[in-house]
Amino acid sequence: QILPNSSEPLKEVRVEDDRTGLSIETLKRAFADNLFYIQGKFPEIASRNDFYMALAYTVRDRLLRRWLNTAETYTRNASRTVAYMSAEFLMGPQLGNNLINLGIYDQVNQAMKELGLDLEELLEEEEEPGLGNGGLGRLAACYLDSLATLEIPSLGYGIRYEFGIFEQDIKDGWQVEITDKWLSAGNPWELPRPEWSVEVKLGGHTEMRADEHGHFKVYWLPDKIVKGIPYDTPILGYKTNTANTLRLWKAEAVESFDFYAFDSGDYLGAVHQKTVSENISKVLYPNDNSAQGKELRLAQQIFFVSCSLKDMTRIMAGQNVPLEQFADKFVIQLNDTHPSVAIPELMRLLIDEHNMTWDQAWGITKKTFAYTNHTLLPEALERWPISLFGRMLPRHLEIIYEINNRFLDEVRMKFPDDVDRLRRMSLIDESGERYVRMAFLACVGSYSINGVAALHTELLQKDVLHDFYEMYPEKFNNKTNGITPRRFMVLSNPRLCKLLHSKIGDEWVKNLYELRKLEGFVDDPEFRHQWRQMKQEIKQDVVDYIKSTTGINVNVNSMFDIQAKRFHEYKRQHLNVLHIITLYNRIKANPNIEITPRTFLFGGKAAPGYYMAKLIIKLINSVGDIVNRDPDVRDRLKVVFLKDFSVKFAQKIYPAAELSEQISTAGKEASGTGNMKFALNGAITIGTLDGANVEILEEVGAENFFLCGLTTEEVYALKAKGYKPWEYYKKDPELKLAIDRIASGFFSHGDPNLFKPLVDHLLGNDQYMLMADYRSYIDTQDEVSQAYRDIDRWTRMSILNVARMGKFSSDRSIRDYCEDFWKIQPVKIDLKQYVEATA
Ligand code: NBY
């Protein structure tokens, strides 16, 4: 025996080293090591980014064990896996979230302090990956967080855009777009995996040829091949050992093509080819809720979808799972129709490259895919012109025609002699120029179709997908969206979390329904006082921020009334502006009028090509210029446009909100998720009966929600009987005065033309019915002002909103997906086993 009689002392020796240890001393040493050996800097010449990078690598080292163990466990067990396919992942900064989920925020904070650094400042330094537009992309990110936290084997698949959503600047009140060079300082969170690169074919034509057995087969002869290189980012669960993967594809040129051109002496041609290939993952399309129909966009879609499917077949081969079991090994969730070419692409892979029969391949395909719809807006439903589609994806078009033929036969069987139904349901729109209807393709190729809030799912079934609901009622289901409380509470609102911790512990972080326990404290005046105190401190931070970035003085005692979301006419930021102008008019008419002081905060980007949305931004800034300076206003109203709204910025803003503006035209906002983030942070909602507002109202109670506007049925009915916006203008003097102010040029240096398009829209057709909802909105806002003056009432409402938001955790959404149709179980990751093996 080599060891003394007891080996206990040896167990005391930790395998803790500078890459794993969590003691303050080890963290400091690891940080210094990374600064020196990775950044190549000593402290005196290190930039803030160097310090950020050194810390990021320190944290990354500490999550790699979890990441590798997770991958190893999934491989060994050949675990059933969710593949979440999305053209967008709006992840937000990674460092803070990883510190929270690893449970090492406090240690690292202390270690940095001892090194004379400020963790907050280092967190600020991170350039966020803005690889999404808004709700849809952020939902994908929240879902990855919940999947990892619930220990569900999953992979996110998307595109590694070199340029994400543009940065927004405001010049003379107008939005200006700036390229988002998020990768320029390096990205410490991704690992390239070139050994798992794949090739994607594009263009060319197909041919029927006999194979070696004399059987005829289709061959696709592409005229272009692009290489996809995967870049992996770890997705940590909250205080679990699970670290899943987000795999994003970067497009590069295939070497063989370069060599070919190079051999023939066409050097510049070869370089050009390289540029064309790399363009595919160059930039995120900056539109939300409108499809563009651009060739490059279709190339992006087939590119990432084809890379991902091939990656999945590689994974199966590595685990010795036969391809026949594809639908058992993977469920593919389609985040809207953007990845829906995956349906014909999987068919093509199985038939053309793996020699399956049509029926075999189709059997697998329709058991694999599930489709989430995010919109009812007709302009957001993707359709590809047949000519464009056929040019880029000739083989996929053939497959879609075949799917369509068989599908229409099915429709004929179920609904004989209904020619109009066939025309309506065909995957090919033949009413004019011919198009492929991607939403219909997704419906036919998926076993599940879900909307993102109860009302939205109901409207899908009644309206946009009614025929498909009649055809396949069993496929339809609702999955109300959710948000992750880790990022949108624990990380972003430490003050609220501290207060919650003192009263109800922190079970709620993993089980948000636990927040209900707060209801027991709502009658405690001391608690309400602390609640107000907390909100006040958060507001003060934002006041300071606004002062330092815009020079505007904001009254910390005014109500923080916030609308933060993409600019779109259906979201009706201009209805909010009409309220501001109305209050302003009241002050001008009677400068001594009693008015609840308010600060109106706006944040959000407009699609660069969306003229009306950009004009609304200009209007907000123009109204702000007048209102903020008018001495009659006496600081009772302030209008602030917070430029360049992002996930990082949102995290600062949600906690400070008191009133959350959710005022879309009923029936237009599929769900909304900002509405949830605000309410979870103690803001009260003023909103229409739209999207998830309906369910928020149901949860928090009507007495804790300011409801306004028409219902969806009323919107439909009013449209049907003939809507006349002009009538509302004529009959409501306050509305008339507000519109006239804009039309007169009062906010545009006397120029009546600047906002004329907006005014004409509102008085002419007013597609989104602002005129119809104006009076109800204004009256409800007056109630809001009243309620705010009753400080105890308001505080109670705020507390009860937080207490009753349990339903809106993305953990609940993901559990519903798992149980309802993913049919997938958690897999526990063991760390000890590994540590002992290495020890
Ligand atoms: O998805 C949003 C919905 O508007 C919102 O109500 C919902 O809460 C959220 C999550 O379910 N949709 C959205 O963000 N859509 C897009 O960003 C988007 C982006 C691109 C395109 C279409 C829609 N496109 O066709 O290119």
Cα(39)–Cα(53) distance, integer angstroms: 7
- What pLDDT score was predicted for residue 837? 46
Q: Which atom of ligand 1 is nearest to the CA of 692?
A: 8
344 touches ligand 1 (CB under 6 Å): no
29 is catalytic: no
- What pLDDT score was predicted for residue 267? 79
565 is catalytic: yes
CB 651 within 8 A of CB 492: yes
Cα(709)–Cα(612) distance, integer angstroms: 22
- What pLDDT score was predicted for residue 17? 85
Three-state helix/strand/coil letters over 254-268: CHHHHHHHHHCCCHH
Q: Report which of 289, 669, 660 is spatially closest to residue 451, judged by C-alpha positions.
A: 669
Q: What are phi and psi of 90, to 5 degrees?
A: -100, 80
Shortest-distance Cα residue to atom 25 of ligand 1: 291
What are the start-end ranges of the E strands in 465-597?
476-478, 559-564
Ligand 1 mutation target, pool 131, 300, 334, 375, most atoms within 8 A of CB: 375
Spacing of C-alpha 666 from chain mean position: 22
Q: Report which of 146, 155, 16 is spatially closest to residue 85, judged by C-alpha positions.
A: 155
What are the start-end ranges of the E strands in 663-790?
684-687, 706-707
CATH architecture of the domain 81-93+128-479 equals 3-Layer(aba) Sandwich (3.40)
Of 65, 475, 565, 568, which one is the catalytic site residue? 565
Cα(123)–Cα(112) distance, integer angstroms: 12
690 touches ligand 1 (CB under 6 Å): no
DSSP state of 491: I
Low-confidence ranges of the chain (pLDDT < 70): 1-16, 256-263, 833-839
- What pLDDT score was predicted for residue 514? 98
Shortest-distance Cα residue to atom 22 of ligand 1: 289
Centroid of ligand 1 to alpha carbon of 32 (angstroms): 43
Q: Report which of 62, 54, 60 is spatially closest to residue 35, judged by C-alpha positions.
A: 54
Centroid of ligand 1 to alpha carbon of 134 (angstroms): 7
Centroid of ligand 1 to alpha carbon of 558 (angstroms): 33
Cα(654)–Cα(425) distance, integer angstroms: 43
- What pLDDT score was predicted for residue 269? 78
Helix (H, G, I), strand (E, B), or coil: what is residue 508?
helix
Angle at 688 between CA 687 and CA 694, to 5 degrees: 95
- How many Cα neighbours within 13 Å face the side chain of 380? 18
> Beta-carbon neighbour count of residue 120 at 10 Å?
10
Helix (H) or strand (E) holding 210: strand 205-210
- What pLDDT score was predicted for residue 838? 46
Of 62, 310, 329, 677, which one is the catalytic site residue? 677
Q: What are phi and psi of 249, to 5 degrees?
A: -100, 135
- What pLDDT score was predicted for residue 272? 82
Q: What is the ipTM of this complex?
A: 0.98
Give Cβ neighbours of residue 725 (< 8 Å, ≥ 6 apart).
Answer: 762, 763, 764, 765, 766, 769, 770, 771, 772
How many residues in the chain? 839
Centroid of ligand 1 to alpha carbon of 373 (angstroms): 9
What does the domain layout of the chain look like in residue ranges? 1-76+104-127, 81-93+128-479, 512-809
- What pLDDT score was predicted for residue 213? 87
- What pLDDT score was predicted for residue 271? 80
- What pLDDT score was predicted for residue 8? 57
Of 80, 395, 571, 643, which one is the catalytic site residue? 571
480 touches ligand 1 (CB under 6 Å): no
Say if domain 512-809 classifies as CATH 3.40.50.2000.
yes
Q: Report which of 584, 595, 489, 362 is spatially closest to residue 809, judged by C-alpha positions.
A: 489
Ligand 1 mutation target, pool 288, 450, 677, most atoms within 8 A of CB: 288
Joined tokens for residue 148: 């990892």
Does this chain's domain 81-93+128-479 share its CATH topology with 512-809?
yes
DSSP state of 350: I
Three-state helix/strand/coil letters over 425-490: HCCEECCCCCEEEHHHHHHHHEEEEEECCHHHHHHHHHHHCHHHHHHCHHHEEECCCCECHHHHHH
